[in-house]
């Protein structure tokens, strides 16, 4: 074992004089007060290595022993990951709490996977089969999924299966197969193995362009600012605008198989709320607890800063692992700003040349490398798996021009910008419809969606003009445009998360509802006064809100829809020319 001695301490950075050769990202343990504190090599200069310590560095002094493991910072992959709550180093927090009590002790590390639990293994591979990294040896049931027991991803040669155990119950550390390489060396394989967190898992045939929408059942997202399955998106916004709540709603309702939440520096109070709520939430897909298909990697703002970076990479590695099983995974990182702040702190201690606002000059490349680990992949058996990454950003004062937000916007496919103005007005989700954007295709007709967006922009222009000249200074036509934009905002862009029907809206209902909204927005009306127009849209808005909360295709639903259509037809004199063109083009394409 290679060892070293501490020669300097600066916060959570420790400088070590090494007695041999070490490598970047290697794990080392700083020995202090009969404890071993886990750390990672982040820079090497001659005989000196600089480590970031994942624990509080209190008590470390010059001359203390450091032991280098020769292993990269890794996570343990295997059955038993689902429903777990880990810290950034993949220690299961419930087990840590049982071992340490109310306050977690430093230097205590627990096996990520229960070594005693037995899993019902069913072999798939047979003696004589030729396998390579990522191929399936067998399966075990894990919740509602069949967890594939795979050949470790770093075994890139072709191996011949010599032995596979018969079907039965085994632990994650039991040998379930033996394979032989071309040189004749035999390797025993268990149901679990380690993988370095900063190395992407690439044991697939090809990466594909994300095209299918990841349905979140949030109307403003699915219709106006969609997220592709296997794509990326970010949610920047000021404190208190609803970033964490929006992520939690997405995790409950998104049409994905696995949800991984990386609380990488979020405030402890919000994380505690998540930990308390998720085990009690019912999964709308299965009727069982939502936690059964969720993994939480928890590193709050009160934990050591170095673990924030580890938690992000731990979470994305777990997501890639389940993608290799042909599953669709959603990774929610909250909040990447605090991860970037941890990088800034470490960069300062390394005395690197700072970039904008003292963030490291390589901030953009690090953020890009994280989001690039999302994607849709085709596996060796022809099935598809995906990792979708959504990260929140907490810019100070809601300033979207700051470096972390700008670096994130350059690499993501959708931008859901939260607005202080909208959250203060109790408009939820507080996604700003004029500033947000998406490069992906949504669940509705793109031409109709663009028309509705134009109504929002035109209505906003009228609203700004009315602030100067007043309502009396606008024409009736402009005032109706303003009312249409307000109607769209109130009945479609906002949802009631407390209503059992309106909280999550499926694709079929979104398309049906949006077609009605489009008809209302594109209609030309015969109003004689602004007061008449205001009364009409106020009544229509209330009726539509009742319509949104009625059960899909129920008697109330059909009755309210008939009343809404009758109201609109009574005041309609025609349709906007642009809308007529959109509808005629659609008819021609169907023909």
In this structure, what token pair is assigned to residue 28?
């080392």
Given a contact cutoff of 8 angstroms between Cβ atoms, the answer to whether 253 and 293 are in contact is: no
Cis ω before 429 (30° cut-off from 0):
yes
Beta-strand pair 136-142/85-86: unpaired
CA 337 to chain centre: 14
In the 8-state DSSP scheme, what is residue 116? S
Residue 303: burial class (beta carbons within 10 Å; 0-12, 13-18, 19+): buried
Rounded to a whole number of angstroms, the CA Rg of the chain reads: 28
Q: Give the CA distances from residue 391 to residues 233, 323, 359, in Å, rounded to whole numbers and listed in that order.
A: 7, 19, 18
Residue with tokens 């399955």: 229
Q: Give the CA distances from residue 480 to residues 449, 515, 545, in Å, rounded to whole numbers and listed in that order.
A: 19, 20, 20
Q: In whole angstroms, what is the distance from residue 370 CA to residue 139 CA?
A: 30
**Helices and strands (H and E) in the chain: how many:** 15, 28
The Cβ of residue 120 has, within 10 Å, a number of other Cβ atoms equal to 12
The Cβ of residue 503 has, within 10 Å, a number of other Cβ atoms equal to 17
Q: Which residues have CB under 8 Å from 279's CB, separation 6+? A: 289, 291
427 is in an annotated binding site: no
In this structure, what token pair is assigned to residue 157?
């040669």
Q: In whole angstroms, what is the distance from residue 196 CA to residue 71 CA?
A: 8
SS3 assignment, position 247: helix
Phi/psi region, residue 543 (left: phi>0; alpha: psi -120 to 50; beta: rest), is alpha
The Cβ of residue 318 has, within 10 Å, a number of other Cβ atoms equal to 27
Phi/psi region, residue 498 (left: phi>0; alpha: psi -120 to 50; beta: rest), is alpha
237 is in an annotated binding site: yes
What backbone torsions phi and psi does residue 167 show, to the nearest 5 degrees? -55, 135
83 is in an annotated binding site: no
Phi/psi region, residue 470 (left: phi>0; alpha: psi -120 to 50; beta: rest), is left
In this structure, what token pair is assigned to residue 475?
């024409």
Beta-strand pair 384-393/232-236: parallel
Query: What residues pair up with 235 in beta bridges, in sequence order?
Result: 392
240 is in an annotated binding site: yes
80 is in an annotated binding site: no
355 is in an annotated binding site: no
Beta-strand pair 294-299/258-264: parallel
Residues flagged as binding site: 237-244
Residues flagged as binding site for ATP: 237-244
């Amino acid at each position: 074992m290679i060892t070293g001695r501490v020669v300097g301490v600066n916060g959570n950075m420790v400088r070590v004089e090494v007695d041999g050769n070490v490598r970047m990202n290697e794990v080392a343990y700083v020995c202090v007060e009969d404890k071993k504190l886990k750390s990672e090599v982040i820079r090497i200069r001659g005989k000196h290595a600089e480590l970031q310590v994942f624990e509080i560095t209190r008590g470390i002094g010059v001359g203390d022993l450091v032991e280098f493991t020769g292993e990269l910072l890794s996570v343990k992959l295997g059955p038993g990951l689902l429903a777990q709550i880990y810290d950034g180093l993949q220690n299961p927090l419930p087990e840590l709490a049982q071992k340490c009590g109310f306050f977690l002790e430093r230097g205590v590390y627990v096996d990520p996977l229960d070594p005693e639990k037995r899993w019902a293994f069913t072999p798939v591979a047979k003696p004589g089969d030729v396998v390579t990294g990522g191929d399936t040896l067998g399966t075990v049931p894990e919740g509602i999924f069949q967890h594939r027991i795979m050949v470790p991803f770093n075994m890139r040669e072709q191996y011949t299966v010599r032995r596979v155990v018969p079907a039965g119950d085994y632990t994650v550390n039991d040998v379930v197969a033996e394979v032989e390489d071309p040189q004749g060396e035999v390797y025993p394989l268990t149901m679990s193995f380690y993988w370095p967190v900063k190395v992407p898992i690439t044991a697939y045939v090809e990466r594909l362009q994300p095209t299918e929408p990841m349905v979140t059942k949030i109307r403003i997202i699915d219709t106006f600012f969609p997220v592709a399955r296997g794509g990326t998106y970010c949610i920047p916004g000021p404190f208190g605008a609803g970033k964490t709540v929006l992520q939690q709603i997405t995790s409950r309702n998104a049409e994905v198989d696995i949800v991984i939440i990386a609380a990488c520096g979020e405030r402890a109070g919000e994380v505690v709320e998540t930990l308390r709520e998720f085990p009690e939430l019912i999964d709308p897909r299965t009727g069982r607890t939502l936690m059964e298909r969720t993994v939480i990697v928890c590193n709050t703002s009160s934990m050591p800063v170095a673990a924030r970076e580890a938690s992000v990479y731990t979470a994305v590695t777990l997501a890639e692992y389940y993608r290799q099983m042909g599953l669709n995974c959603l990774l929610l990182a909250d909040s990447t700003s605090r991860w970037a702040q941890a990088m800034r702190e470490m960069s300062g201690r390394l005395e690197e040349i700072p970039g904008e606002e003292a963030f490291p000059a390589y901030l953009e490349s690090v953020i890009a490398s994280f989001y690039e680990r999302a994607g849709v992949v085709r596996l060796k058996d022809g099935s598809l798996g995906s990792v979708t990454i959504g990260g929140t950003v907490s810019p100070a004062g809601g300033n979207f021009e700051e470096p972390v937000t700008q670096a994130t916007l350059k690499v993501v496919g959708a931008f859901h910008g939260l607005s202080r103005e909208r959250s203060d007005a109790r408009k939820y989700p507080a996604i700003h419809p004029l500033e947000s954007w998406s490069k992906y295709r949504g669940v509705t007709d793109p031409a109709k969606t663009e028309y509705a967006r134009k109504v929002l922009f035109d209505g906003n222009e009228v609203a700004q003009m009315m602030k100067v000249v007043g309502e009396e200074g606008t024409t009736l036509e402009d005032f109706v445009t303003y009312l249409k934009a307000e109607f769209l905002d109130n009945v479609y862009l906002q949802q009631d998360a407390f209503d059992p029907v309106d909280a999550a809206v499926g694709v079929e209902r979104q398309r049906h509802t949006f077609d009605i909204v489009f008809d209302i927005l594109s209609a030309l009306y015969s109003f004689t006064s602004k007061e008449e127009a205001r009364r009409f849209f106020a009544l229509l808005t209330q009726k539509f809100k009742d319509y949104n909360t009625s059960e899909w295709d129920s008697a109330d639903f059909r009755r309210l829809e008939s009343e809404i259509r009758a109201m609109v037809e009574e005041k309609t004199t025609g349709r906007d020319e642009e809308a007529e063109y959109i509808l005629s083009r659609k008819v021609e394409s169907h023909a």
